[in-house]
């Protein structure tokens, strides 16, 4: 469905308002109210699953499946440096990941769908989800509250800077990584740097541990299984000639198979325990299993891929490699058939996600609206036709 110039202007207007008024995860109060008001103006029935999200329901003129389309609402604790005329009015909080654009796209979808109920075979839930950036976040809360009850399938999307603008990225199966995190505190015995023999040096212990952790992927996991372990935080001591009592490190684990996550957890515990015993040190280890891998359903993803190809041409649709970033849409994909699509916004010298100068290509907002209104309507109608064919 082609997007008119006036509708495109309205979608951009929504994005700029939302960009100017960002809110952090679990505190999207004004954002939720704004979205609800826009949906109610369109005479769309709304409800909330957790009290933090907002869902609009559009019932079609024909019977059929119930599907959902999801957008996230939260911003990040980042001081904006874009210099945009509609920069954040909430100092230190910024839409630096594209969620403002995601909401604008879903509002645009809402506006198109309410004018085309005669083309809808079934029911469509427009899910504006809170707290995608936090762990635990909004998706797991919605799943735990039985928010997917009665939903047969769910679609999601992300404006994605690593893909060139105008390109649609799709993938079946494992698409985005599961994300774990861990922290290690080494409890040694400090002393003067000139007498290390009287100490249990926690900096030496943590160094050995970090070296050993980096062997897990290369020596404990099959080469065909994707996984990453990275240390992002390291601290110890405050004086050049004093061996401290403690040292600290934390890191992240990325994977596409839950068994790999469990194996890495086990090996981290074994390595930390073994190294500390060898040096006579004690430790405190915390390992948090975060969002699971995002698994794209084959049929849903193929449907979106076919729609993208029809609308924009095969040259603008690519099969992407697995992405080691995490996304809590993954929780939905382990409950019902789900598909998550990437809409390219990358340009030469553009800034990446979570950067204080990150910005989106607003030309891609209408592309997202066109893709998912057309794609979801096609999926619902096609499902009815397949059902009738099977019964005939």
Instruction: Provide the token pair at 117.
Output: 């109920």
Residue 26 is classified by DSSP as: T
Place of tokens 């029935």: 45
Residues 308 and 367 sit within 8 Å (Cβ to Cβ): no
Q: What is the dihedral of CA 7, 329, 336, 113, to 10 degrees?
A: -10
Q: Choosing from 132, 201, 291, 361, which is the catalytic residue? A: 132
- Rounded Cα–Cα distance for residues 236 and 42 (Å): 57
74 an active-site residue?
yes
Residues 320 and 340 sit within 8 Å (Cβ to Cβ): no
Instruction: Point out which residues pair with 69 in neighbouring strands.
Output: 126, 155
Q: How far, in Å, are 112, 329, 344, 367 from residue 168 at the CA level?
A: 21, 18, 6, 10
388 an active-site residue?
no
Q: What angle do CA 257, 258, 263 make, to 5 degrees?
A: 100
Backbone angles phi, psi at 244, to 5 degrees: -80, 170
DSSP symbols for 343-388 = EEEE-TTPPPTT-TT----THHHHHHHHHHHHHHHHHHHHHHHHHH
- Rounded Cα–Cα distance for residues 21 and 95 (Å): 9
Q: What is the dihedral of CA 66, 384, 63, 102, to 10 degrees?
A: 30
DSSP symbols for 281-344 = -EEEEEEEE-S--EEE-HHHHHHHHHHHHHHH-GGGEEEPPPB-S--TTHHHHTTS-EEEEEEE
Q: Choosing from 72, 74, 291, 370, which is the catalytic residue? A: 74
Q: CB under 8 Å to 286, separation ≥6 — which residues?
A: 182, 183
Instruction: Provide the token pair at 57.
Output: 């329901």
In 3D space, the residue among 342, 340, 337, 319 whose CA is nearest the CA of residue 329 turns out to be: 340
Active site residues: 74, 132
């Amino acid at each position: 469905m082609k997007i008119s110039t006036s509708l495109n202007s309205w979608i951009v207007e929504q994005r700029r308002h939302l960009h100017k008024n960002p809110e952090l995860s679990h505190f999207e109060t004004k954002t939720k109210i704004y979205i609800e008001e826009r949906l109610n103006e369109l005479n769309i029935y709304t409800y909330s699953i957790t009290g933090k999200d907002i869902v609009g329901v559009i019932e079609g003129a024909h019977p059929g499946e119930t599907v959902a389309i999801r957008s996230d609402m939260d911003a990040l604790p980042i001081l904006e440096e874009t210099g945009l005329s509609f920069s954040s009015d909430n100092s230190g909080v910024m839409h630096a990941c594209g969620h403002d654009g995601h909401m604008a796209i879903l509002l645009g979808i809402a506006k198109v769908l309410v004018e085309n109920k005669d083309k809808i075979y079934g029911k469509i839930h427009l899910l504006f989800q809170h707290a995608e950036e936090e762990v635990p976040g909004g998706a797991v809360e919605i799943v735990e509250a039985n928010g997917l009850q009665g939903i047969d399938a769910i679609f999601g999307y992300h404006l994605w800077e690593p893909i060139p603008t105008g390109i649609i990225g799709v993938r079946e199966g494992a698409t985005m990584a599961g994300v774990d995190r861990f922290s290690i505190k080494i409890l040694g015995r400090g002393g003067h740097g000139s007498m290390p023999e009287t100490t249990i040096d926690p900096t030496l212990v943590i160094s050995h541990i970090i070296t050993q952790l980096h062997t897990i992927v290369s020596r404990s996991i099959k080469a065909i299984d994707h996984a990453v372990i990275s240390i992002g935080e390291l601290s110890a001591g405050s004086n050049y000639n004093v061996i401290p009592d403690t040292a600290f490190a934390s890191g992240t684990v990325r994977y596409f198979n839950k068994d790999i996550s469990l194996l890495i957890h086990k090996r981290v515990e074994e390595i930390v325990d073994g190294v500390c015993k060898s040096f006579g040190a004690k430790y405190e280890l915390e390992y948090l299993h975060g969002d699971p891998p995002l698994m794209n359903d084959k049929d849903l993803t193929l449907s979106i891929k076919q729609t993208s190809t029809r609308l924009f041409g095969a040259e603008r649709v690519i099969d992407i490699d697995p992405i080691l970033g995490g996304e809590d849409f993954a929780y939905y994909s382990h409950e019902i058939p789900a598909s998550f699509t990437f809409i390219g916004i990358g340009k030469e010298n553009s800034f990446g996600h979570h950067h204080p100068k990150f910005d989106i290509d607003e030309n891609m907002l209408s592309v997202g609206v066109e893709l998912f209104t057309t794609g979801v309507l096609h999926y619902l109608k096609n499902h009815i036709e397949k059902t009738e064919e099977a019964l005939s």
